[in-house]
Amino acid sequence: MTMKAFKIYRWVILIIIAVLYFFVCLHRLSPTVIARDLVLSLHADAVTLGVIASSYFYLYAAMQPIVGYLSDTKGPRKVMALLFFISAAGSIVFALAPNATIAVLGRLLIGAGLAGVFIPALKIFSRWYPANQFASLTGVMITIGGIGGLAAALPLTYLVVLFGWRGSFVAIGFLSMALAILTWIIVRDSPEDKGWAVFAAEDRAILKPGQEIRLSKRLVTVFGNLDFCLLFFATFLIYGASLAFQGLWAVPYLMDVFSLDRVRAGGILMALPLGFAIGGSSVGFMIDRLNLNRKKTLLGGLGLSILIWLLLIFLKEREHLVIVVPLFFFFGLIAGGSLPLSFAITRDLFPSWLMGTATGLMNTASFLGSAVYMPLTGFLLNSAISTGAGSYSYNDYQKLLIVFLLSHAVAFAAMTLLSKRKDSPVPT
């Protein structure tokens, strides 16, 4: 085996995993495009439509700790390939659903299956790549996810126009099955599985053959690390606020406060995923190449986010849109850049044998945050007096923006307490 062959094989693994993650984010946002089709085909009302769309997220979040544990104990390749095959089956079930109940079942299978991509990917990266490239690789994944989110808009719309929503998801399902088989055949957990020498051996506390550590001890070890608890709490606050705004209230905010139509509001919203995609790769690359201090960089990003929320609180005139658009872009840029930072810090805190469990729990924090913040912010707006047809006033949205501002401020305070401790000891 030559070094050139080794590097080429790493690239092949990276490309396959990136394609898998593209579909993770495509499925996540796809209900928006086919909402009317679902209403007509499945005779679904607005509440049922919401249940169909949200069923993906609950199992996706619930599966993260399990996926992390299985990645540590059974190997990330097996978890990734088998669960992605389940997501493929879920896509076909969803496409052929005769009623809303079966559609929910399909979306549940999709969410559970796609939960097995991101965390196993990080585990594989920690084995195949040196530590000083981990943030860049995480950034690449986030960028691919942003592209998948963008593809869930216009490209998916054209696909649905050509083949219908059912035909489109059947095609996605069979393509996903082929990708799952390809993953099983080509992807390997580590260079050792190919009979190759270890490329990067630093901080690789691999379990000895036959040594198993129960999930309970893994959880105690992870949550016994104060730095991880601080990071988990901050991620909960940051992405709970961010995803609630981007995924639920940004378009109504633009329509109600700035009197925009839905199309133009949606166009402005595109600045967020665009910034997210760019931020994921650029920040990760800069951290690895420039050897930036991760804690200080994360604090700097949080400081800028606080400033953005503060500015948005006072913007309400239509001419202020010239400021809102770049603010949305930088908001996405910072959010996308913060994720590789968080996972890179998590990697520093724990040895390799605990990577799956730790990153799985970290990934849960953001989805758990959005699950709490979405109904919470909805409750806050419901307590206000609607101005008609579900619209709200500038003052009502100000309350939400203040909540988001305070969330980021508390997260900033938590991150100032982060220490420089490295790995946790193996429990005995």
pLDDT at residue 177, as a whole number: 97
CATH of the domain at 42: 1.20.1250.20
Tokens of 239: 């992405």
Lowest-confidence segment of 187-196, 286-295, 318-327 by average pLDDT: 286-295
Q: How far apart are CA 249 and CA 258, in angstroms?
A: 13
pLDDT at residue 284, as a whole number: 66
Asked if residue 424 belongs to a domain, the reply is: no
Number of domains in the chain: 2
The larger pLDDT score, comparing residue 286 to residue 345, is at 345
Q: Does position 230 have pLDDT exceeding 70, yes or no?
A: yes
* Percentage of the chain exceeding pLDDT 90: 29
Q: Does position 204 have pLDDT exceeding 50, yes or no?
A: no
Q: Does position 390 have pLDDT exceeding 60, yes or no?
A: no
Which of 416, 23, 314, 369 lies closest to 183 in space, CA to CA? 23
pLDDT at residue 68, as a whole number: 82
Lowest-confidence segment of 7-11, 123-127, 195-199 by average pLDDT: 195-199
Q: Is 391 helix (H, G, I), strand (E, B) or coil?
A: strand
Instruction: Based on the fold, state whether residues 373 and 281 are members of the same structural domain.
Output: yes
Tokens of 289: 């190449």
Neighbour-count burial of 98, counting CB atoms closer than 10 A to its CB (0-12 exposed, 13-18 middle, 19+ buried): exposed
Asked if residue 78 belongs to a domain, the reply is: yes
The larger pLDDT score, comparing residue 208 to residue 302, is at 302
Q: What would the mean pLDDT of 243-272 be, rounded to a whole number?
A: 78
Q: How far apart are CA 177 and CA 370, in angstroms?
A: 30
Instruction: Based on the fold, state whether residues 95 and 244 are members of the same structural domain.
Output: no
Instruction: Based on the fold, state whether residues 184 and 221 are members of the same structural domain.
Output: no
Query: pTM score, two decimals?
Result: 0.69
Asked if residue 373 belongs to a domain, the reply is: yes
Among the three residues 155, 172, 190, which one is the final residue of a domain in this structure?
190
Residue entry with tokens 């940051």: 238
* Percentage of the chain exceeding pLDDT 70: 85
pLDDT at residue 154, as a whole number: 66
Q: What would the mean pLDDT of 34-39 be, rounded to a whole number?
A: 76
Q: What would the mean pLDDT of 203-211 be, rounded to a whole number?
A: 43
Distance of CA 33 to the CA centre of its chain: 20
Output Rg (C-alpha) for the chain, integer angstroms: 22
Lowest-confidence segment of 26-30, 109-113, 209-213 by average pLDDT: 209-213
pLDDT at residue 212, as a whole number: 59
Q: What would the mean pLDDT of 173-184 be, rounded to a whole number?
A: 96
Asked if residue 140 belongs to a domain, the reply is: yes
Lowest-confidence segment of 147-151, 299-303, 324-328, 418-422 by average pLDDT: 418-422
Phi-psi region of 190 (alpha: psi -120 to 50; beta: other; left: phi over 0): beta
Neighbour-count burial of 407, counting CB atoms closer than 10 A to its CB (0-12 exposed, 13-18 middle, 19+ buried): buried
Instruction: Based on the fold, state whether residues 142 and 269 are members of the same structural domain.
Output: no
pLDDT at residue 149, as a whole number: 72
